[in-house]
A and B are shown apart, each in its own frame.
Chain A
Amino acid sequence: MSEPVEKFLCVVNGKQQIMEVPDNTLLLDWIRTDLGLTGTKQSCEVQVCGVCTVLVDGVPVSGCTTLAYEARNSNVMTIEGIRGTAFYQRAEEIFMRHSAVQCGFCSPGFILTVFTLVNAGRKLTEHEIKQALHGNLCRCTGYKSIFEAAIEVINSEVGLGK
């Protein structure tokens, strides 16, 4: 089917973009292929691994199983969008110090997930942090270092709950 494609606005990492893609386009493909933002990764494609995590209006979604349609007239944030922030610098330093990054393929997804937890502005318990991060997979580190780093980042930003 080749229906005419409408144009929509989408703000990606603070920059206005024109989205002009058919309804069946996946958000991940638009971000990686059309915009060339390759910090967002692709792996399982079934919403299990989290390497494709992006934020649509602040809400974390799997780019691999989200239609670009859902980001029309919205704000999208990818890992590139938080790179310059103080949060990112702190998170990067803490993740490195804990050796929570080895190959780094999973790191954008983990960091963006931690970013949304911090942005919620609420103190979180370690259990809640683990529950939020369990949807991100890492093939290298074995998680302990990632959880420790995530907990330190969240503690330094909003504090931990009991």
Chain B
Amino acid sequence: MLVPSFEMHVAKSVEDAIKLRSEFGDDSSFYAGGTELLLVMKLGLTDLAHLIDIKHVEELSSISIDESGVRIGAAVTYREIENNPILKSDHPEFVQMISGVANLRVRSVGTLGGNLAFADPASDPATFLLAVKGELEIGSVNGKRRLVPMAGFQTGPYQPDLAENEMIVSIRLPRNLAGGIVVHERMKLKERPNITVAVFAAVANDKVTEARVAIGSIGLVPICIPEVNKSLEGASRATLSERLRQAAEIASTEITLFDDANGSVDYKRHLVKHFVEKVARRAIEAVLLN
């Protein structure tokens, strides 16, 4: 398979990248790790005359951590996240999730920003970020920046909430999870996940005060269903099993699923039920017994 011909342009800054994109319009695309883009080009699904290499922009390639939280530049690779000592010690669940994405070679060059911008329904990071209330910094023309929640960023399969000349500049994780913890699990039979569930849970006075169950890689976009979260709030050790059953039941009936090569709707409902109960149990038991 050949990549159709194009011309590469190296962006020097976020503003430069956006300027190039505005100039070339539809005929161009940002290029980071290329792990999705080159595939799409090889398959002839898109014809682009210009690629804009954003990997050499300092602002997009750095990780910084301070009191307010973690800021990961959009062009930071999975490999760099896996090797970051502070992330490893302070955000082990996040790093563990990242180190299970794809395979070693995809993680060498694939980026967090590329994953979120491609908005593949099968995304571990998007699901994780939903559970921890992650945010995205978006850069627009004229140097404008805005911070948007992960929730709502993916409006449909392969549809990020980005205007044509906008880009993801950074990804933000809360510094500490407000006394709660997050647990993430995925099941994959081939390279990409068949289901990803991430659950944030916080507890006070032996009762769940907050639960956020994010379900991804199985429906149209990663989602949080408010009724599922509500059904877990107030759960104690005595009521946990019953509440988990309820939450799993609601999740598996409320989520929109479709038949495809990964399985039937019935099978997928079963996966949702099983994984929501299992992962939420892990998260809540970990905080309740802490």
Min CB distance A88 to B, Å, is 20
- Determine the chain B residues whose CB is within 8 A of the CB of A24 once the complex forms: 2-6
Contacting pair A62 B105 (CB below 8 A):
yes
- Determine the chain A residues whose CB is within 8 A of the CB of B4 once the complex forms: 24
- Determine the chain B residues whose CB is within 8 A of the CB of A3 once the complex forms: 7
**Interface residue ranges of A6-24 to B (CB < 8 Å):** 22-24
Contact of B104 among A66, A70, A113 (CB under 8 A): A113
Contacting pair B104 A65 (CB below 8 A):
no
CA distance A50 to B107 in the complex (A): 13
Proximity string of chain B (253-265) to chain A, C-beta cutoff 8 Å, 1 when within and 0 when not: 0000000000000
- The secondary structure that dominates the B interface is loop
- Determine the chain A residues whose CB is within 8 A of the CB of B22 once the complex forms: none
B89 within 8 A of A: no
Q: A50-B105, A60-B105, A132-B104 are in contact. Are A67 and B34 (CB under 8 A)?
A: yes
B86 within 8 A of A: no
Contacting pair B191 A48 (CB below 8 A):
yes
Contacting pair A135 B35 (CB below 8 A):
no
A59 within 8 A of B: yes
CA distance A69 to B190 in the complex (A): 29
A141 within 8 A of B: no
- Determine the chain A residues whose CB is within 8 A of the CB of B155 once the complex forms: none
A-side interface residues, number (CB < 8 Å):
28
Contacting pair B49 A47 (CB below 8 A):
no
CA distance A67 to B49 in the complex (A): 15
> Looking at chain B, what size class is its interface with the partner chain?
20 to 34
- Nearest residue, chain A, Cβ from B107: A135
Contacting pair B108 A131 (CB below 8 A):
no
Proximity string of chain A (35-73) to chain B, C-beta cutoff 8 Å, 1 when within and 0 when not: 000000000011110100100000111100111011000
A103 within 8 A of B: no
A86 within 8 A of B: no
- Nearest residue, chain A, Cβ from B51: A23
- Determine the chain A residues whose CB is within 8 A of the CB of B35 once the complex forms: 47, 65
Contacting pair A45 B42 (CB below 8 A):
yes
- Determine the chain B residues whose CB is within 8 A of the CB of A131 once the complex forms: 99-100
Proximity string of chain A (60-96) to chain B, C-beta cutoff 8 Å, 1 when within and 0 when not: 1110011101100000000000000000000000000
Contacting pair B38 A1 (CB below 8 A):
no
Contacting pair B7 A1 (CB below 8 A):
yes
Contacting pair B6 A23 (CB below 8 A):
yes
- Determine the chain B residues whose CB is within 8 A of the CB of A116 once the complex forms: 104
A101 within 8 A of B: no
Proximity string of chain B (75-103) to chain A, C-beta cutoff 8 Å, 1 when within and 0 when not: 00001000000000000000000011011
B109 within 8 A of A: yes
CA distance A59 to B173 in the complex (A): 27
B289 within 8 A of A: no
* Interface, chain B (partner A; CB < 8 A): 1-8, 34-35, 38-39, 42, 49, 51, 79, 99-100, 102-106, 108-109, 190-191
Q: List 10 A-B contacts (CB under 8 A).
A: A22-B5, A23-B51, A24-B3, A25-B3, A60-B105, A61-B105, A66-B109, A67-B38, A135-B102, A135-B105
The list of the 10 closest CB pairs from A to B, nearest first, reads A135-B103, A24-B3, A23-B8, A62-B105, A59-B108, A24-B5, A1-B5, A65-B38, A45-B1, A132-B104
Q: A23-B7, A47-B102, A59-B79 are known contacts; what are 7 more A-B pairs with Cβ within 8 Å?
A: A22-B5, A24-B4, A47-B106, A47-B191, A62-B106, A65-B34, A65-B35
